[in-house]
């Protein structure tokens, strides 16, 4: 018997093991723009956008002063943060670049535009915005036909307000 997940199910938050809590909080607040909602002593912090209890949990419970897992090992590939539109994505990208963060990649997937980079602990991050589902590329049978095309970064950045 198979089970189908309810169509309104969403990923609510991610909780990351980090080596240095202060460094991670600084990155996710200063660079990513999340607000600290609660500190849990000196071992965890909870951050969010818009006052939600948390979108990002950070802790050093098992990882204080640790190192990122080496390439070729299992673990989280990236956490993806969905922005409501291209303008908000452009603002986020501008902030990331202004902080000196290097991009690992960028792509136009047809269904979305995405940019990839890493936090100070080596955790992969994707920031993206979706296109209207009516504009998603489809094959001749109506199935999704996602692509991995170059993203026009200068064109995206031109939408940033600051």
Give the sign of the dihedral formed by CA 21, CA 23, CA 24, CA 29: positive
Q: Which of 34, 124, 18 is nearest to 116 (CA)?
A: 124
What pLDDT does 68 receive?
92
pLDDT band at 67 (very low <50, low <70, confident <90, very high): very high
* Fold agreement between 12-65 and 77-162: yes
Q: Which of 20, 160, 13 is nearest to 94 (CA)?
A: 160
pLDDT band at 162 (very low <50, low <70, confident <90, very high): confident
What pLDDT does 45 receive?
98
Residue 77 corresponds to which tokens in the numbers above? 């590939």
Topology of 12-65 in CATH? 2,3-Dihydroxybiphenyl 1,2-Dioxygenase; domain 1 (3.10.180)
What pLDDT does 124 receive?
96
Give the global pTM: 0.93
Q: Report pLDDT digits (tens) over 2-54.
A: 888 888 888 899 999 999 999 999 999 999 999 999 999 999 999 999 999 99
What pLDDT does 2 receive?
84
Q: Report pLDDT digits (tens) over 81-135.
A: 999 999 999 999 999 999 999 999 999 999 999 999 999 999 999 999 999 999 9
The residue extents of the domains of the chain are: 12-65, 77-162
Radius of gyration of the chain (CA): 17
* Alpha-carbon gap, residue 154 to 162, rounded angstroms: 14
* Alpha-carbon gap, residue 100 to 120, rounded angstroms: 12
Architecture of domain 77-162: Roll (3.10)
């Amino acid at each position: 018997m198979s089970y189908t997940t309810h169509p309104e199910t969403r990923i609510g938050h991610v909780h990351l093991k980090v080596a240095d809590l202060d460094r991670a909080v600084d990155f996710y607040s200063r660079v990513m723009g999340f607000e600290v909602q609660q500190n849990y002593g000196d071992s965890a912090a909870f951050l969010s956008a818009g006052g939600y209890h948390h979108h990002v949990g950070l802790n050093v419970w098992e990882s204080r002063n640790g190192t990122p897992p080496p390439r070729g090992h299992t673990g989280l590939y990236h956490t993806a943060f969905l922005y409501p539109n291209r303008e908000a994505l452009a603002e986020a990208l501008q902030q990331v670049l202004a902080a000196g963060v290097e991009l690992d990649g960028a792509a136009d997937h047809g269904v979305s535009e995405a940019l990839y980079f890493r936090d100070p602990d080596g955790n992969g991050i994707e920031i993206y915005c979706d296109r209207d589902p009516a504009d998603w590329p489809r094959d001749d049978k109506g199935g999704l036909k996602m692509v991995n095309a170059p993203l026009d970064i200068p064109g995206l950045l031109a939408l940033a307000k600051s």
